Amino acid sequence: MMSEPTNGTCGSTLKTLSYLYPVVLHLVSIMLTTRALQIQYRLREMFHPFFSLLLSLVLLSYNICNVFAIVSSFLVMSGVSPAVAYAGNCLYYFCYFYINGMMFCCVVERLAATVLMKTYEYNRRWWTLVLSQPFAVSAWPFILYRHMQLCYKHWYGLIREGLQVPAQLRM
């Protein structure tokens, strides 16, 4: 029994669905994160102001990151030039790097609140929070760049050693 060949419509429908499925997941994520942001806003009086602000920034950044992912998907779907799609993707990854830095700042803030529990709750030095923002933006790209440098040196050394002829084989 021979199977019927697939037509172009089935292939294009499947391709469209493969682009729309992540968009739907990002929309669901935006709705859930927005709800978490609303809950955080209502409960902000229960937490230290630094933690409330940091957590709100993380949740807001997740929403912005999801919006960039949706825009990037639509750019690829519409068939724009690869340079434009790459720019949309870079915005998405920049938001993700920012979120990682902010999560680190949240962990440090909670650690400081735990260690300094008697004095921290009355501390309102906002300069520490302001200084955390440039760290959140710059730390992760620097770490990634440094990691790539180390990987390059490691692989370059392995390749160089592999291409050298051992002394006992030289004539």
DSSP-assigned states of every residue in 45-103: GGS-HHHHHHHHHHHHHHHHHHHHHHHHHHHHHHT--HHHHHHHHHHHHHHHHHHHHHH
Measured on CA atoms in the order 46, 47, 52, 55, is the torsion positive or negative? negative
Q: Tell me, what's the pLDDT at 31?
A: 94
- On whether residue 76 sits in a domain, the answer given is yes
Q: Tell me, what's the pLDDT at 45?
A: 83
Q: Tell me, what's the pLDDT at 1?
A: 46
Give Cα 29 to chain centroid, integer Å. 14
- On whether residue 84 sits in a domain, the answer given is yes
Question: Which amino acid belongs to residue 105?
Answer: C
- On whether residue 79 sits in a domain, the answer given is yes
| 46 vs 42: CA distance, rounded Å | 9
The per-residue pLDDT for range 145-169, each reduced to its tens digit, is: 666 666 666 555 655 655 554 555 4
Q: Tell me, what's the pLDDT at 35?
A: 94
Number of domains in the chain: 1
Q: Does residue 97 contact residue 141 with C-beta atoms inside 8 Å?
A: yes
| 45 vs 41: CA distance, rounded Å | 9
- On whether residue 157 sits in a domain, the answer given is yes
| 21 vs 26: CA distance, rounded Å | 9
- On whether residue 130 sits in a domain, the answer given is yes
- On whether residue 6 sits in a domain, the answer given is no
Q: Tell me, what's the pLDDT at 124?
A: 67
Which strand (E) or helix (H) includes residue 121?
A: none
| 66 vs 24: CA distance, rounded Å | 11
Q: Tell me, what's the pLDDT at 21?
A: 85
| Host domain of residue 146 | 12-169
Return averaged pLDDT per consecutive 10 residues of the chain, 171 residues in all.
Answer: 54 76 90 92 82 86 90 84 78 81 80 78 69 71 66 60 53 49
| 101 vs 57: CA distance, rounded Å | 11
- On whether residue 52 sits in a domain, the answer given is yes
Tokens 């400081």 identify what position? 112
- On whether residue 80 sits in a domain, the answer given is yes
Nearest one of 35, 108, 105, 29 to 62, comparing CA atoms: 29
Q: Does residue 109 contact residue 135 with C-beta atoms inside 8 Å?
A: no
Instruction: State the pTM of this model.
Output: 0.63
